[in-house]
Amino acid sequence: MPRSQDTIDLLLTRRSVKPFTMTTPGPDASELEIILRAGARVPDHGKLAPWRFILFKGDARAGFGDVLKARFAQIEPAATEDRLKLETGRLLQAPVVVAVISRIVESKKAPEWEQVLSAGAACQNMLVAATALGFACSWLTEWYAYDDGIAAALGLGKNERVAGFIYFGSPTLPKDERERPVLSEICTEWTPR
């Protein structure tokens, strides 16, 4: 198999971008299809597809913002108007948002943990694909990924939970860097005793 230095460079420089710094354009229909296809092309023991995707585009982002605002006001009655405004505008920060839903499928072959990891891999593949296409992206959870009321609004089943909300847009700021782990501090080599 041929080596791809471009792929290695992309993996070593990929960086999450804060959604509030994103702008238009976001991925168009064909670019979004590429991103979603990359998300579905991950290790998947037993071919279970233990994930699915919910897309938020156009007015649906504001509509879901209304759901977030109403739910947050319900669980935090003392929330300020500024905080409620923040909840309303969450998905409006990026032109396209995809909720990646981890779904556990009954299987004798693939334990639940493997299925959850597969959903995480779907998120990562989508980030890498979007970055390769030139988009800014970020994988977030926040409170609404763990809230039962929001899960109901998303139509999640008992075997499903949010793995993350992935925001896609165009960058407005140059890519910065942050400190990364020192490999010698996180990597060991096993040897027999």
What are the two backbone dihedrals, phi and then psi, of residue 55, each rounded to the nearest 5 degrees? -95, 140
Its pTM stands at 0.94
**Domain region containing 81:** 26-174
Does residue 163 belong to any structural domain of this protein? yes
Does residue 12 belong to any structural domain of this protein? no
Does residue 19 belong to any structural domain of this protein? no
98 contacts 166 by C-beta, under 8 angstroms: yes
Does residue 18 belong to any structural domain of this protein? no
d(CA 43, CA 121): 8
Does residue 9 belong to any structural domain of this protein? no
Does residue 64 belong to any structural domain of this protein? yes
**pLDDT tens, 43-89?**
999 999 999 999 999 999 999 999 999 999 999 999 999 999 999 99
Does residue 59 belong to any structural domain of this protein? yes
Total tally of structural domains belonging to the chain: 1
Query: Structure tokens of 97?
Result: 């948002």
CATH code at position 165? 3.40.109.10
Residues of the chain with pLDDT under 50: none
List residues bridging with 4 in a β-sheet: none
91 contacts 61 by C-beta, under 8 angstroms: yes
What are the two backbone dihedrals, phi and then psi, of residue 22, each rounded to the nearest 5 degrees? -85, 160
Does residue 106 belong to any structural domain of this protein? yes
Instruction: Show Cβ contacts of residue 100 under 8 Å, excluding neighbours closer than 6 positions.
Output: 39, 51, 52, 53, 119, 122, 123, 126, 162, 163, 164, 165, 166
